């Protein structure tokens, strides 16, 4: 029986969006679904919780859909808005959750706080949770497997610049690389610097430059002027 390692390997590009979760029997078969004990345990817990009225199948489906609806695109919009609207940026830095919920009509909550780490010409922020995998999931979606890996969690605090190089990112030696370790349920979002040459870009065009990794701090928004 093979167990998935710390990062699950899933190679299907065809993500099935048919969310028919109403029945409890075996879900869509795929080579990546575990076999044996894990699968039976998950099914057993799910069935028992359902039978006891603690968590219904509908609630599971709804929660999956809600989590699916949170993608880095939301974070990208936030960044793009902050780049183009000084008032929003100020509100975002002062009271991130409130600013985001009000501006985008959402009801996001986090365990404690959301803090936005603003990059500056002499400051590059990176985020990690060395102790587990804390991440602003209700804003950016589920964290990537690498973020949760012990390799990232162990290395980024001691050799951040080597980790950046591995991601193909260079930060000048004159810029402070600051690694925020999410030790206490404060969730962090990096506000990257707006790349040069993007003056006059629409918010959508700007958002397209803001990848998930730029909001974790392992990448910089890329724009090559023609």
Partner 1 sequence: MTDSHPEFPPPRFGVGDKVVVKNGPPETHCRTPYYLRGVNGQIIELIGRYQNPSLLAFHKPGLPKLWLYRVRFDQYKIWEQYNGANSDSVVADLYEHWLVPVKEHSNVAP
Partner 2 sequence: MQRKVNDVGGLPGEHIDSVDHDATFFEKRIDAMLMLLISPKIKAFSIDALRRTIEENTLDDYTKRGYYEKWLYAIRHLLVEQQILSNEEIDQRITTIMQTKG
Q: Look up 69 and say whether it is catalytic.
A: no
146 binds partner 2, rule: CB under 8 A: yes
205 binds partner 2, rule: CB under 8 A: no
Helix (H) or strand (E) holding 160: helix 160-166
Helix (H) or strand (E) holding 155: helix 150-155
Q: Is 111 exposed, middle or buried (0-12, 13-18, 19+ CB in 10 A)?
A: exposed
Least spacing, CB of residue 137 vs partner 1, in Å: 18
Token representation of residue 100 = 């985001």
Q: Look up 132 and say whether it is catalytic.
A: yes
Least spacing, CB of residue 207 vs partner 2, in Å: 19
Task: Count the alpha carbons within 13 Å of 222 in the hemisphere toward its beta carbon.
Answer: 9
Cα 21 to Cα 62, 65, 83: the distances in Å are 9, 10, 40
Residues that bind partner 1 (CB under 8 A): 112-113, 122, 130-131, 157-162, 173-186
Stretch 111-130 residues interacting with partner 2 (CB under 8 A): 111, 128, 130
CA distance 173 to 177: 9
Options 133, 161, 186, 198; binder of partner 2; rule CB under 8 A: 133
Candidates 8, 69, 132, 154; catalytic one: 132
Judged by the rule CB under 8 A, the positions of this chain that interact with partner 2 are 3-12, 15-16, 27-28, 30, 32-34, 37-49, 52, 54-55, 59-60, 63-64, 67-68, 111, 128, 130-133, 142, 144-146, 148-155, 157-158, 163, 166-167, 181, 185, 218
């Amino acid at each position: 029986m093979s167990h998935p390692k710390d990062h699950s390997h899933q190679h299907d590009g065809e993500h099935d969006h048919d969310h028919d979760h109403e029945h409890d029997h075996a879900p869509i078969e795929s080579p990546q679904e575990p076999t044996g004990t894990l699968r039976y345990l998950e099914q057993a817990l799910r069935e028992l919780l359902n039978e006891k009225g603690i968590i219904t199948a509908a609630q599971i489906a709804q929660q999956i859909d809600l989590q699916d609806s949170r993608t880095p695109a939301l974070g990208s919009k936030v960044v793009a808005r902050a780049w183009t609207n000084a008032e929003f940026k100020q509100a975002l830095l002062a009271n991130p959750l409130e600013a985001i919920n009000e501006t985008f009509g959402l009801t996001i909550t986090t365990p404690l706080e959301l803090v936005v780490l603003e990059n500056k010409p002499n400051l590059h922020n990176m985020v990690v949770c060395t102790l587990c995998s804390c991440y602003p999931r209700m804003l950016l979606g589920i964290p990537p497997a690498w973020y949760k890996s012990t390799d990232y969690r162990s290395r980024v605090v001691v050799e951040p610049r080597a980790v950046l190089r591995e991601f193909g990112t260079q930060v000048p030696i004159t810029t402070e690389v600051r690694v925020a370790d999410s030790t206490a349920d404060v969730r962090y979002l990096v506000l990257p610097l707006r790349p040069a040459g993007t003056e006059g870009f629409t918010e959508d065009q700007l958002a397209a430059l803001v990848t998930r990794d730029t909001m974790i701090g392992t990448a910089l928004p890329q724009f090559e002027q023609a």
